Structure 1
Amino acid sequence: MTVKVAAIQMCSGVDPQRNADTMARLVRDAAAKGAVYVQTPEMTGALQKNRAELRAILRNAENDIIVSRAAELARDLKIHVHVGSTAIARDDDKIANRGFLFGPDGTRICSYDKIHMFDVDLDNGESWRESAAYQPGSEARVTDLGFAKLGFAICYDVRFPQLFRAEAVAGAEILTVPAAFTRQTGEAHWEILLRARAIENGAFLVAAAQGGVHEDGRETYGHSMIIDPWGRVLASAGGDGEAVVMAELDIAAVKAARAKIPNLKNARDFTLAQSQAMAPAGGEAA
């Protein structure tokens, strides 16, 4: 079965209404070109480094403009709309970095909270502490789109292959990595990580990204991509600004790739032993 999918690249600012309008325009463009599944990037609703100002615009899922607009788009266009993520207010004063999937009737099929927090210290003084404000998720997700099974992840999750392996073992044929990768880490690792996750799981991978210089001053890498189960890049955007990246996926290619390299079936349980240095002949270890 062949289906057309799209990854939406954005350069989200600090105003959720403006970002929602941009999302709607790009999703409609993708649908007009035949996409039946459209993914938006991480933090579609707003990229705002100032935590106080971010909290001022936060809403719960029932009242969030990105969530409601995505549901409307899915229903109006009769497609699957996957909000890669947006910031959602939780009842415990924490924030969820949450993705949402809506079906062609506008129904929310499921949501996914980013599991791994981006707590890092990079070169040139660039430092991030997501865990200071965000509550990590604890549950991986796989859902059936009808034409394929979809596995969820968000941005920094891509560095944890065990998440993608668990989803692939559970039947995921399309893996997802909506992201707001920093320019520094993106230049070094973005494409190779995405291709590795696709190859090692014999799955398609769709990664919608933020790209450009944002209103809050951060720079994101862009280069939204769609990759096939053999690790080939089917489509890719540039580094800055808006884009609609599209590709036709032959879902049968997943079965074919996994038949050629059946590593999901060939995996074995093992134990890890740590050995101490052996004493040299005729003496004791120092």
Structure 2
Amino acid sequence: MKIAAIQMRSGLDPEANLAALEPLLAEAADRGAAYAVTPEVTLIFPENREQLKAVAAPFEGHPHLARVGEMAHRHNIFVHIGSLPVPLEDGRFANRSVLFGPDGAQVATYDKIHLFDADIAGLNAYRESATYKAGDRAVIAPLGDFTLGFSICYDMRFPRLYNALANAGANLIAVPAAFTVPTGQAHWHVLLRARAIETGSYVIAAAQGGSHANGRATYGHSLIVDPWGRVIAELDHDAPGVLVADIDPSAVVEARGRVPALANARDFSPPALQN
């Protein structure tokens, strides 16, 4: 199976973002990809709640998602929108992934579970939970000979989620992201390779890259990692582009057979200090 990671430089105008996505999806399909994943905040990349409120639309009947479904149908390809903001009743938003099938119908959705709340030295406190509401459900979906596991960006720092996805049957895990440049340079490759090694799964990470209209800068470097932890494809830059690689379910079986970490894992009691 051929899969594709689409790297973007999304801005604040959903129409412009959709116009940028269309030729990238067409290229992925022309290169034989049966599945393509886009970055986090594909359809709008906001910096604050005011920017979100200006353009976010209700999930049911969402006009831009309807257009993505049409693209999936036109190109006969699974299209995984890495995420978009969805308004909720409490005034916050869900950071939601949406998978479309080749027929253009929605197959699955996932709301980002882990939110970045941190006090960073030299910077203002960052409270993602002030704007977004965390999801509470891990999600997998059938994808041809593979089972797709869902995650979004900051999720990649929480291996328990990936272990749960793999134990539920996922052998390909998607990580749409909008990683900052400093953290990307330090952690992007090693975290994604670790999640592949720990689960014996393919990992595909579609990234935002470059300088955005909201003033943010993101790392790019979309990549695909095999179940042994090898980077088999990478966009070694932060410009928009399409990354395609062949994946084989037998490689998952081989990796999990050589290091049966999932099968060998055991439950245990929390640590206790011994005198």
Q: Normalised by the size of structure 2, how large is the TM-score?
A: 0.97
Query: Which digits, 9 at most, give the CA deviation of each residue in 1:100-131, with x for residues without a partner?
Result: 00111111001000001011233542642110
Query: Which digits, 9 at most, give the CA deviation of each residue in 1:146-199, with x for residues without a partner?
Result: 220000000000001000000000110101110001112111111100000000
Alpha-carbon distance between aligned partners in 1 of 2:237 and 2:273, rounded to the nearest angstrom: 47
Alpha-carbon distance between aligned partners in 2 of 1:37 and 1:177, rounded to the nearest angstrom: 14
Aligned to 2:143: 145
For structure 2, the 5+ residue unaligned runs are none
2:19 counterpart of 1:16:
no
Alpha-carbon distance between aligned partners in 1 of 2:251 and 2:116, rounded to the nearest angstrom: 33
1:136-215 pair list within 5 angstroms? 136-215=134-213
Question: 1:124/1:186 Cα in 2 relative to 1: closer, same or farther (>3 Å)?
Answer: farther
Aligned to 1:73: 71
Q: Which amino acid aligns with 1:211?
A: G
2:107 counterpart of 1:114:
no
Q: Identity over the aligned pairs, expressed in percent?
A: 49
Aligned to 2:239: 241
Aligned to 1:256: 254
Q: Give secondary structure in 2 for the equivalent of 1:62.
A: coil
Alpha-carbon distance between aligned partners in 1 of 2:221 and 2:49, rounded to the nearest angstrom: 27
Question: 1:231/1:60 Cα in 2 relative to 1: closer, same or farther (>3 Å)?
Answer: same
Question: 1:66/1:124 Cα in 2 relative to 1: closer, same or farther (>3 Å)?
Answer: farther
RMSD: 1.2
| 1:273 Cα deviation after fit | 3.6
Query: Which digits, 9 at most, give the CA deviation of each residue in 1:229-261, with x for residues without a partner?
Result: 000001111332201011000111001100110
**Number of residue-to-residue matches in the alignment:** 275
1:24-35 pair list within 5 angstroms? 24-35=22-33
| 1:25 Cα deviation after fit | 1.5
Q: Give secondary structure in 1 for the equivalent of 2:266.
A: coil
Is the CA contact 1:207–1:226 (under 8 Å) kept in the aligned structure 2?
yes
| 1:50 Cα deviation after fit | 3.2
For structure 1, the 5+ residue unaligned runs are 278-286
Query: Which digits, 9 at most, give the CA deviation of each residue in 1:10-45, with x for residues without a partner?
Result: 010110110011111111111011100000000001
Alpha-carbon distance between aligned partners in 2 of 1:135 and 1:257, rounded to the nearest angstrom: 36
Alpha-carbon distance between aligned partners in 2 of 1:126 and 1:40, rounded to the nearest angstrom: 29
Q: Give secondary structure in 1 for the equivalent of 2:155.
A: helix
Alpha-carbon distance between aligned partners in 1 of 2:183 and 2:118, rounded to the nearest angstrom: 11
Q: Give secondary structure in 2 for the equivalent of 1:61.
A: coil
1:211-230 pair list within 5 angstroms? 211-230=209-228
Alpha-carbon distance between aligned partners in 2 of 1:222 and 1:88, rounded to the nearest angstrom: 24
Q: Which has the larger Rg?
A: 1
Alpha-carbon distance between aligned partners in 2 of 1:249 and 1:29, rounded to the nearest angstrom: 18
Q: Which amino acid aligns with 1:206?
A: I
Q: Give secondary structure in 2 for the equivalent of 1:255.
A: helix
Alpha-carbon distance between aligned partners in 2 of 1:181 and 1:255, rounded to the nearest angstrom: 31
Q: Normalised by the size of structure 1, how large is the TM-score?
A: 0.93
Q: Which amino acid aligns with 1:58?
A: A
Alpha-carbon distance between aligned partners in 1 of 2:118 and 2:245, rounded to the nearest angstrom: 33
Alpha-carbon distance between aligned partners in 2 of 1:121 and 1:177, rounded to the nearest angstrom: 24
2:21 counterpart of 1:7:
no
Q: Which amino acid aligns with 2:209?
A: G
Question: 1:155/1:204 Cα in 2 relative to 1: closer, same or farther (>3 Å)?
Answer: same
Q: Give secondary structure in 2 for the equivalent of 1:88.
A: strand
Question: 1:237/1:121 Cα in 2 relative to 1: closer, same or farther (>3 Å)?
Answer: farther
| 1:92 Cα deviation after fit | 2.9
Q: Which amino acid aligns with 1:45?
A: L
Query: Which digits, 9 at most, give the CA deviation of each residue in 1:44-66, with x for residues without a partner?
Result: 01112132122110101234344
